Amino acid sequence: MGDVLAHESELLGLVKEYLDFAEFEDTLKTFSKECKIKGKPFSKTAGGCLRDPRSPAVQQELLAAFEGGDQKVFFRLWEEHVPGAVRDEDALVQKLEFYLHIHFAIHPLKRGAGRPDKRELDERISYFRSFLETRGTALSQTTEFLPFYALPFVPDPRAHPSFKELFQDSWTPELKLKLEKFLALIFKASNTPKLLTIYKENGRHNKETLQRLHQQLVEAERRSMTYLKRYNKIQADYHNLIGVTAELVDSLEATVSGKMITPEYLQSVCVRLFSNQMRQSLAHSVDFTRPGTASTMLRASLAPEKLQDVPLLPSLDYEKLKKDLIWGSDRLKAFLLQALRWRLTTSHPGEQRETVLQAYIGNDLLDCHSRPQRSVLQLLHSKSEVVRQYMARLINAVASLAEGRLYLAQNMQVLRMLEARLKEEDKDVVARENMLGALQKFSLRRPLQTAMIQDGLIFWLIEELREPDCLSDYMLEYAVALLMNLCLRSAGKNMCAKVAGLVLKVLSDLLGHENHEIQPYVNGALYSILSIPSIREEARAMGMEDILRCFIKEGNAEMIRQIEFIVKQLNSEELLDSVLESDDDEDEDEAN
């Protein structure tokens, strides 16, 4: 209670300021009266500032300069009183400012029927041209404003059909009305009460904190899964070591009884102790009958490998790179995208490659951390097929690395753009392949899986896979792999349940496809979706078990084993609630 009393005066002042700002006149009178009766004074400095008494005067000066065509006065006041962030980031304000520059550029031509002062007109046109080359470039790709970039080069705009609307009687009053509305809004916003400011800042701070905590959580989960995999490997090695040790103890006991240990037995024990990469070569190349050979090889296997001295690549000027990627010619963009991809893919795995990738991430090469008006990501929508293809290749290369996927996942716009371009791209097969490849790698991350499922990507994949012979091997393999990853999630299975008959027909047809690389993915998708009772019923109705048993007769041992698991799943009677879902599976793979 003591804290409340200590700050009561300031709090009452904040409330009074807000009621005044929001024009709750009757409420304000009642509030003030009650505070006076209770002897509770207001803090005069609570709000920091009430309405700026200069605001109406500044508005009148701006409107007077607009009507009088005083370009210098208008834009001096405009830059002083309209916040730079609003002018730079608000698209509507940018459009208003563009039309204001047009208004002042052609003002001498609209003053009367006589010939305008040529010197004044040239000066205004020059000022307008300067604007087009600086701040005006932001709208250079907007269809609405493209004709006006030719205005400085037209001898008499009044006679040109493209600028006819500028000289209609209604154009200037309509522009003035827009200006008045904007000024009223901006000056009201500039006098925002402190109570509202506190609320906004607190919300923004909370949002930033939440994003930071989410990022830390994702990192912690990724590290946790990495450590879990390492622990499992160490545990497996430990169990293997205990088993070998027990056998060696048995062998020592046997030697006491006079039984000999054969070289073949010694060889089998040593091979089990080596890593998978060494087993096959050692089994055939090492003579274990020579004394000391086995122990020497075991000690050598534990010795740390000598690291190859790989020089780091020279650093790049990423600010200039991004500028050229956005504003350069299509030919330059294509060369840069290719060079950036090669820099990553041809780097030596390990420290050199990690350094290259971290430089891309740290300099936000693909604008995943920021949201500029012109983004490098927009090259996916370039009119040039080559630029679109090379951009897709670069994204696919970055997505091939775990840290690259984590970086790309920061901006959901990357996923949305890839999905949109994949569905729209019909000319460049290589571009489509790389977009699909990137999406398949994205599907290793849980949040991106969720987004792809919600976007209905499963339905698109099923439609594409209905005619697998029309797809390249790359498209086919990555499409099926992506479908399987999405089907591992319960949300993905439920999506498949909506078109169960079609999904089952497509997958059963793919079982017999000549491309055997897709079989594990087809089997995985089938096994996963058959955990849904409604899909099992549909599969039984279409005779899925008979279809599967046909492939058991033809397949190899691994294929037969997988199909037997699918048949078992098909014939199970488990309810959905008792099925182990994959929603809690690891969020990210460890592959680099």
Tens place of pLDDT for every residue, the chain, 592 residues?
Answer: 445 555 777 788 888 877 877 778 888 888 888 888 888 776 654 444 444 545 678 888 899 999 988 999 999 888 888 877 788 888 888 899 999 999 998 888 887 656 778 888 888 888 988 888 888 887 777 778 888 888 888 888 888 888 888 888 899 999 999 988 888 887 765 556 777 777 776 766 676 777 777 777 777 777 777 777 788 778 777 877 887 787 778 778 777 777 777 767 766 776 666 655 455 555 455 555 555 555 665 666 555 555 556 677 788 888 888 899 989 899 999 999 999 999 898 888 888 888 899 999 988 888 888 777 788 888 988 888 899 999 999 999 999 998 999 999 888 888 999 999 888 887 678 888 999 999 999 988 888 999 999 999 999 999 999 998 888 888 999 999 999 999 989 999 999 999 999 999 999 888 888 888 888 899 899 999 998 999 999 999 988 888 888 877 666 777 788 888 888 888 887 665 444 444 544 444 544 4
Mutual angle of helices 490-498 and 457-465, in 10-degree steps: 60
Mutual angle of helices 500-511 and 490-498, in 10-degree steps: 100
**Is 318 in contact with 363 (CB distance < 8 Å)?**
yes
Return phi, psi of residue 311, to 5°.
-70, 150
CA angle at 497 for the pair 491 and 502, rounded to the nearest 5°: 130
Residue 342 is which amino acid? W
Q: How many CA atoms lie within 13 A of 386 on its CB side?
A: 10
Residue 590 is which amino acid? E
Distance, CA of 571 to CA of 14 (rounded, Å): 69
Q: DSSP 3-state assignment of 83?
A: coil
**Is 551 in contact with 563 (CB distance < 8 Å)?**
yes
**Is 328 in contact with 336 (CB distance < 8 Å)?**
yes
- The percent of the chain in helix, strand and coil, each rounded to the nearest 5, is 75, 0, 25
Q: What is the pTM of this model?
A: 0.50
Tokens (6 digits) for 355: 């350094």
The label of the residue with tokens 């009460």 reads 193
